[in-house]
């Protein structure tokens, strides 16, 4: 699978990229919501750039002012059927609000095991 990861934490981004690539996937990590969205929005329906998105709910990129939920909504404006895994270390109410806003999204609470993430990726690839 071609997977895009959006997280504001470089260490987490690199860990996810390494794990996904070791499992045989192609993974691209973005640390900026605007660069992430630009890659998706510039694509055409004939060339969807990714098969799956993994997005951090609580992005700390204050100058861009976008939450993970907002990023997913904007990505879905271009590709509404794109599967998403939302990862978060947020509080229970933040995660529950995200689940209500994005009912079709899989949610993975940090900290999580890489085995759990890879199982979720496998589930979404079928």
pLDDT band at 48 (very low <50, low <70, confident <90, very high): confident
Q: Compute the average pLDDT of residues 78-101.
A: 86
Residue that is written with structure tokens 């700390």 in the block: 60
- The span from the CA of 46 to the CA of 65, in Å, is 30
Contact 1, 83 (CB under 8 A): no
Which domains, from first to last, does the chain contain? 2-124 (3.40.50.2300)
Chain segment 71-88, per-residue pLDDT in tens = 998 898 888 889 999 998
pLDDT band at 53 (very low <50, low <70, confident <90, very high): very high
Given a cut of 70, whether residue 44 has pLDDT beyond it is no
pTM: 0.90
The CA distances from residue 16 to 28, 47, 77, in Å, are 10, 24, 25
- The span from the CA of 22 to the CA of 57, in Å, is 25
pLDDT of residue 120: 96
pLDDT of residue 92: 83
Q: What number of helices (H) and strands (E) belong to the chain?
A: 5, 5
- The span from the CA of 73 to the CA of 111, in Å, is 24
- The span from the CA of 13 to the CA of 18, in Å, is 9
pLDDT of residue 96: 85
| Beta strand spans in the chain (E) | 2-6, 26-30, 52-56, 84-88, 106-109
Percent of the chain with pLDDT over 90: 48
pLDDT band at 93 (very low <50, low <70, confident <90, very high): confident
pLDDT of residue 91: 76
pLDDT of residue 52: 95
């Amino acid at each position: 699978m071609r997977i895009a990861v959006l997280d504001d934490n470089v260490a987490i981004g690199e860990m996810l990229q390494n794990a996904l690539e070791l499992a045989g996937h192609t993974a691209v990590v973005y640390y900026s919501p605007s660069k992430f969205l630009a890659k998706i929005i510039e694509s055409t329906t004939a060339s969807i750039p990714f098969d799956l998105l993994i997005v951090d709910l609580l992005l700390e990129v204050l100058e861009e002012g976008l939450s993970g939920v907002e990023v997913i909504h904007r990505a879905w404006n271009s590709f509404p059927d794109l599967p998403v895994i939302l990862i978060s270390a947020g509080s229970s109410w933040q995660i529950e609000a995200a689940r209500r806003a994005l009912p079709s999204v899989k949610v993975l609470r940090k900290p999580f095991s890489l085995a759990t993430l890879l199982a979720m990726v496998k589930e979404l690839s079928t």
